[in-house]
Structure 1
Amino acid sequence: MAIDALRIRQELEILNIAFWHDVDSNWGRKAHEFFTEDGVYTTSHKARIGRDAIRAFYTERQGRGERVARHLIHNFHVTVRDENHATAEWTMCLYAEDGVAPLMSEPPILIGAVTDECVRGADGQWRYAARTTRPLFKGSRPTSG
């Protein structure tokens, strides 16, 4: 059977949008569910290994108080290895600030190159085995990650 690369690309883009929607609109309360049990989430600050560590990161972030964040996804490129394994490479622009909207508009606090190693589970759902963000440009304010 031929691999439907276009369908896989679309599924991974939908996964990515759903992940960042949860982070930006729901404090990342479900972010850990987007990863495999032993998934590795490497932000600009450190690596978090496993769903429990990823959940703890977003729980801690919410506990620090109000924040407005928007993660923008650009130049989404997917390399399909087989029906159940693919790599997504894309650019993220992060606008974020502690406080309540509306906040002053500033340049993004981070522009990063992101690489996702994606695996389709036995349940048919795509998840991240690894997500790595490599900062390309940093703003004057730190990220929370």
Structure 2
Amino acid sequence: MDAREEVSLWHALYRLEVRYWHEVDCNGGRHAHEFYAPDGVMCVGHNRFEGREKIREFYAWRERQALTAISSVKTTRHLINNLIVDATTEGRARVLGVVSFYGSAARPPAQQSKPPMLIADLINECVLDPDHGWQFKSHLLQPVFMSHEAPPSIAVDTRR
């Protein structure tokens, strides 16, 4: 892969990641499941959601929590840093990076003087679909630093 192809791949996967988090932060994740391959996997900490339907169900639950729970996170921003992209095989790539998650129970503009709720290592396996472009085969967030306020993706216990 030459330098131009590397830059093009990096841009395509950065765009996928940024658009995904924009969907989550600005639209409640209503269409977040569409960023995944049909059998895609989303993992945050110990929680694992397999397939588009389970991912859609999680984001629907998350949105209900924001609307109905008294202390739930209502305003979020996910910041992406240090993105590294490696082509693994034709039509497949691995993405590594860092996600910083800020959340508040208030609506914007929310006063924020606290550190991020979560800083996590990002580990993605991406696949190129001929009809839909790049998608997540797996999207994994491994917590590195957490505040005492757990983000909804970790607060939910899917093992029950």
Q: Aligning the two structures, in what range does the TM-score lie when normalised by the shorter sequence?
A: over 0.9
Matches within 5 A, 1:99-138: 99-105=106-112, 106-123=114-131, 125-138=133-146
Q: Which residue of 55, 70, 73 maps to 2:77?
A: 70
User: RMSD between aligned alpha carbons?
Assistant: 1.3
Percent same amino acid at aligned positions?
31
1:97, distance to aligned residue in structure 2 (A):
2.0
**Greater share of residues in helix:** 2
For 2:71, the equivalent position in structure 1 comes to none
Counterpart residue type for residue 109 of structure 1: M
TM-score by length of 1: 0.94
For structure 2, which runs of at least 5 residues remain unmatched after alignment?
Answer: 68-73, 154-160
For 2:31, the equivalent position in structure 1 comes to 30
Counterpart residue type for residue 77 of structure 2: R
1:140, distance to aligned residue in structure 2 (A):
1.6
**3-state SS of 1:12 partner:** helix
Number of equivalences: 144
Distance 1:45 1:101, change over 3 A: farther
1:57 and 2:65 are equivalent in the alignment:
no
TM-score by length of 2: 0.85
